[in-house]
């Protein structure tokens, strides 16, 4: 034990800290805990061993054992890999925190800034199996006994944030709340000051913090400058989320959940719903969690018919503008849908309250979804280099109703930490680091629970433990020169020269994708113009028919697929034939099954898959 510390009090604070359920209490008890031990958040090796030596309860020991086993993994090199790296994480959402935890285990100095003063998001996240395993290994169950018990595979965003904040703090990460990142501040060579950031409020001590890695994890609006985004436009998709108070009565306990994936096929239900209530939905999910959480995709005409949307506009922004939405009608719409879909077994649905103390029901537009064109960049000013990486929703916007947000977000967090590791080790050049990061990013939008490595326990930072089809060199260093912004042309020229000496390594077909839907659709139309039976109008039509994928494979590679033998009217079967050939013979990994392709509304994944196919064939002679 460290002399002069009050270990008894520290253990008392630890119990309160572990049980705390709000940001304010977690931070308050943590302060009590570290003050009793004369500790301050610090790099892992300076902080954690001292904390560990003083926490003696069985509960603490059980939890810290989990941290020990994680920290002992060889990829962290005993917390020394990133000993000279200083990281700023913008945003204390699940993905910012998850990235921060990995960076801390690598031995970096990590500071997280979060603009909110409390965790108030009731909405519930669907968790892929690897995320559940990942959180279990971080001790989630010790903080929240009910964590994914039995077949439950979801958690409220609020609860998840509480768990991750506790893990982060116990590892020594410095977390500042009610502090909003504004912009980066360039180094000042005269004062020998490196990269810093400006915050709101402006006089905060964190504005003195100098760092060499910045993680953009502030959600879909992304305030970290310098990243452009590509837009994926699907057909109009309006999602409604609603949270009702879970009074935990016996009657509520009996109501069955509705898992989205299974429900999507239940066409009869949607017909009955429409007949009974005039509510027309494309899908609905119900999770019983801290709240009763419903998320549904509603058709515009029924929202108009039910008076939720006051006036029809073709422009979605005007359509869903607050002044065009009748809040009370929206609440009634959500209640009716929730009641019908749970067979009217839910007694008295009362809305939970949102961040603003209002009934927690909201309507979101998913017609356009965004993905960053690049996952990482380097900027160099006055000899100071800064690695910028995006993670979570800032990197790739998820389609909530199918629940991919947190899973892909966590993958991006682990990938970001892998890049921090490479950056810190100094054995790779900055261009190597960002080229590898970009190569790995190419896989992200295609990931599904089924095409990831199933051995979740073996997942580490190393992407090879997670992605079976990993090719770290899809993007080569000389191809990412444009992602290296410097005021010193000599440094980039030096790196460029060394890469230009290896022209044979340039892969022929693979390129960084920035292909918008129109280009993809026009390419297909053009290539398949001789096939009269094929009609391509939009992204849906490519996968609904089932023959388009077969036709394009046959067009370029008639040796792989006999198009004249494709005579099934079952589009799912046709899609599956194409998916199998693409995977087996052309190394295009599947993103869904043939039948899922025909019904999904995850246009981002569809566009990414089509981009892979386009990349595979483009430039080939048919
Ligand atoms: P977020 O969870 O968005 O976290 C970003 C964090 O950054 C926030 O805490 C924010 O306060 C903070 N921040 C923003 N700007 C700054 C700044 N300038 N400085 C400092 N901090 C900043 N997914 C689902 O699957 N189902 C849902 O129903 C669902 N509902 C959602 C409702 C809302 C209101 C939001 C914002 C997201 C929702 N999501 C939902 C998405 C889901 O929350 C994310 O996919 C998941 O939380 C991972 O996100 P993240 O950590 O990348 O970003």
- The CB of 216 under 6 Å from ligand 1? The reply is no
CA of 123 to the centre of ligand 1 (A): 10
Out of 304-313, 494-503, 583-592, which region has the weakest mean confidence (pLDDT)?
494-503
Closest among 430, 352, 341 to 384, alpha carbons compared? 430
- The CB of 164 under 6 Å from ligand 1? The reply is no
For atom 45 of ligand 1, the residue with the nearest CA is 405
Q: Give yes or no for residue 508 having a pLDDT over 80.
A: no
Could you tell me the pLDDT band of residue 150, with boundaries at 50, 70 and 90?
A: confident
Could you tell me the pLDDT band of residue 264, with boundaries at 50, 70 and 90?
A: low
- pLDDT value of residue 165: 98
CA of 109 to the centre of ligand 1 (A): 24
What tens digit of pLDDT does each residue of 205-261 get?
999 999 999 999 999 988 999 999 988 888 888 999 999 999 999 999 999 998 865
382: tokens are 């006055």
Q: Give yes or no for residue 31 having a pLDDT over 70.
A: yes
- The CB of 91 under 6 Å from ligand 1? The reply is yes
Average pLDDT over residues 460-465: 95
What tens digit of pLDDT does each residue of 292-335 get?
999 999 999 999 999 999 999 999 999 999 999 999 999 999 99
CA of 93 to the centre of ligand 1 (A): 6
- The CB of 217 under 6 Å from ligand 1? The reply is yes
Average pLDDT over residues 5-21: 94
- pLDDT value of residue 514: 52
Q: Give yes or no for residue 502 having a pLDDT over 60.
A: no
Closest among 539, 564, 33, 574 to 237, alpha carbons compared? 539
Complete domains list, the chain, with CATH: 73-229+373-465 (3.50.50.60), 236-366 (no CATH), 517-617 (1.10.418.10)
Higher pLDDT, 61 or 556: 61
Average pLDDT over residues 506-516: 46
Q: CB within 8 A of 131, min separation 6: which ones?
A: 406, 407, 410
- The CB of 115 under 6 Å from ligand 1? The reply is yes
**Angle at which helices 603-617 and 548-556 pack, to 10 degrees?**
20
Closest among 173, 103, 131 to 418, alpha carbons compared? 103
CA of 401 to the centre of ligand 1 (A): 15
CA of 95 to the centre of ligand 1 (A): 9
Average pLDDT over residues 361-378: 92
CA of 5 to the centre of ligand 1 (A): 38
Average pLDDT over residues 581-607: 84
- The CB of 260 under 6 Å from ligand 1? The reply is no
Q: How far is CA 487 from its chain centroid?
A: 33
- pLDDT value of residue 503: 41
Percentage with pLDDT > 90 across the chain: 66
- Give the number of C-alpha atoms closer than 13 A to the C-alpha of residue 363, restricted to the C-beta side: 26
Atom of ligand 1 nearest to the CA of 220: 3
- The CB of 405 under 6 Å from ligand 1? The reply is yes
Average pLDDT over residues 471-476: 87
- The CB of 546 under 6 Å from ligand 1? The reply is no
- pLDDT value of residue 620: 59
- The CB of 180 under 6 Å from ligand 1? The reply is yes
For atom 24 of ligand 1, the residue with the nearest CA is 400
Distances (CA, A) of 416 to 214, 411, 420, 438, 465: 10, 9, 6, 10, 15
The mean predicted confidence, pLDDT, of the chain is: 90
> What CA–CA distance (Å, rounded) separates 494 from 543?
47
290: tokens are 């801290």
- The CB of 114 under 6 Å from ligand 1? The reply is yes
- The CB of 397 under 6 Å from ligand 1? The reply is no
- The CB of 363 under 6 Å from ligand 1? The reply is no
Q: Give yes or no for residue 136 having a pLDDT over 80.
A: yes
Higher pLDDT, 152 or 504: 152
Helix/strand number for the chain, H first, E second: 23, 17
- The CB of 120 under 6 Å from ligand 1? The reply is no
Q: Give yes or no for residue 410 having a pLDDT over 70.
A: yes
Distances (CA, A) of 585 to 93, 447, 543: 40, 19, 20
Q: Give yes or no for residue 413 having a pLDDT over 50.
A: yes
- pLDDT value of residue 297: 92
Mutate-to-test residue for ligand 1 from 219, 396, 409, 601, highest number of ligand atoms within 8 A of CB: 219
Mutate-to-test residue for ligand 1 from 23, 89, 91, highest number of ligand atoms within 8 A of CB: 91
CA of 276 to the centre of ligand 1 (A): 35
> What CA–CA distance (Å, rounded) separates 198 from 216?
14
Atom of ligand 1 nearest to the CA of 393: 52
Burial of 262 (0-12, 13-18, 19+ CB in 10 A): exposed
């Amino acid at each position: 034990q460290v002399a002069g510390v009050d270990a008894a009090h520290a253990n008392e604070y630890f119990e309160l800290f572990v049980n705390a359920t709000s940001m304010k209490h977690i931070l308050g008890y943590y302060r009590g805990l570290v003050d009793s031990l004369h500790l301050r958040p610090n790099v892992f090796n300076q902080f954690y061993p001292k904390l560990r030596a003083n926490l003696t309860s069985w509960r603490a020991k059980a939890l810290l054992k989990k941290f020990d086993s994680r920290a002992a993994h060889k990829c962290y090199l005993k917390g020394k890999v990133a000993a000279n790296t200083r990281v700023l994480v913008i945003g204390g959402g699940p993905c910012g925190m998850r990235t921060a935890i990995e960076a801390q285990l690598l031995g970096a100095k990590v500071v997280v800034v979060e603009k909110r003063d409390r965790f108030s998001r009731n909405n519930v996240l669907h968790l892929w199996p690897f995320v559940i395993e990942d959180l279990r290994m971080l001790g989630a169950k010790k903080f929240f006994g009910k964590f994914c018990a039995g077949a439950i595979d979801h958690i409220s965003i609020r609860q998840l944030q509480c768990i991750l904040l506790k893990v982060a703090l116990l590892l020594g990460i410095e977390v500042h709340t009610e502090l909003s990142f504004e912009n980066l501040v360039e180094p000042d060579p005269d004062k020998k000051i490196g990269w810093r950031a400006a915050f709101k409020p402006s006089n905060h001590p964190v504005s003195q913090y100098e760092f060499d890695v910045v993680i953009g994890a502030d959600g879909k609006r992304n305030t970290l400058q310098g990243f452009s985004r590509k837009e994926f436009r699907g057909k109009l998709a309006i999602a409604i989320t609603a949270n009702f108070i879970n009074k935990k009565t016996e009657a509520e306990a009996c109501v069955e959940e509705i898992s989205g994936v299974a429900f999507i096929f239940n066409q009869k239900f949607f017909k009955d719903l429409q007949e009974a209530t005039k509510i027309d939905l494309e899908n609905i999910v119900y999770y019983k969690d801290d709240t009763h959480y419903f998320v549904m995709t509603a058709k515009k005409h029924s929202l108009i018919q039910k008076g939720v949307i006051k006036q029809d506009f073709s422009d979605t922004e005007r359509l869903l503008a607050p002044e065009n939405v009748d809040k009370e009608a929206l609440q009634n719409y959500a209640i009716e849908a929730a009641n019908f879909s749970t067979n009217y077994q839910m007694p008295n649905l009362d809305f939970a309250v949102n961040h603003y103390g209002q009934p927690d029901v909201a309507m979101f537009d998913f017609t356009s979804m965004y993905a960053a064109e690049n996952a990482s960049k380097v900027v160099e000013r006055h000899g100071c280099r800064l690695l910028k990486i995006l993670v979570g929703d800032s990197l790739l916007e998820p389609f909530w109703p199918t629940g991919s947000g947190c899973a892909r977000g966590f993958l991006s967090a682990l990938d970001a930490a892998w890049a921090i590791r490479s950056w810190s080790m100094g054995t790779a050049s900055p261009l190597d680091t960002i080229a590898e990061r970009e190569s790995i990013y190419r896989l992200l939008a295609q990931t599904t629970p089924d095409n990831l490595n199933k051995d979740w326990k073996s997942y580490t930072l190393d992407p090879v433990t997670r992605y079976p089809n990993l090719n770290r060199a899809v993007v080569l260093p000389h191809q990412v020169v444009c992602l290296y912004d410097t005021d010193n042309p000599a440094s980039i020229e030096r790196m460029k020269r060394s890469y230009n000496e290896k022209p044979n390594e340039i892969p022929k077909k693979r390129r960084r994708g920035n292909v918008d839907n129109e280009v993809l659709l026009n390419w297909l139309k053009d290539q398949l113009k001789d096939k009269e039976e094929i009609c391509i109008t939009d992204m849906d039509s490519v996968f609904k028919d089932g023959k388009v994928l077969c036709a394009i494979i046959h067009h370029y590679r008639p040796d792989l697929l006999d198009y004249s033998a494709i005579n099934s009217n079952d589009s799912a079967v046709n899609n599956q034939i194409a998916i199998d050939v693409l995977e087996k013979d052309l190394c295009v990994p599947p993103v869904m099954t043939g039948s899922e392709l025909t019904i999904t509304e995850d246009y981002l994944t569809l566009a990414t898959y089509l981009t892979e196919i386009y990349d595979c064939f483009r430039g080939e002679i048919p």
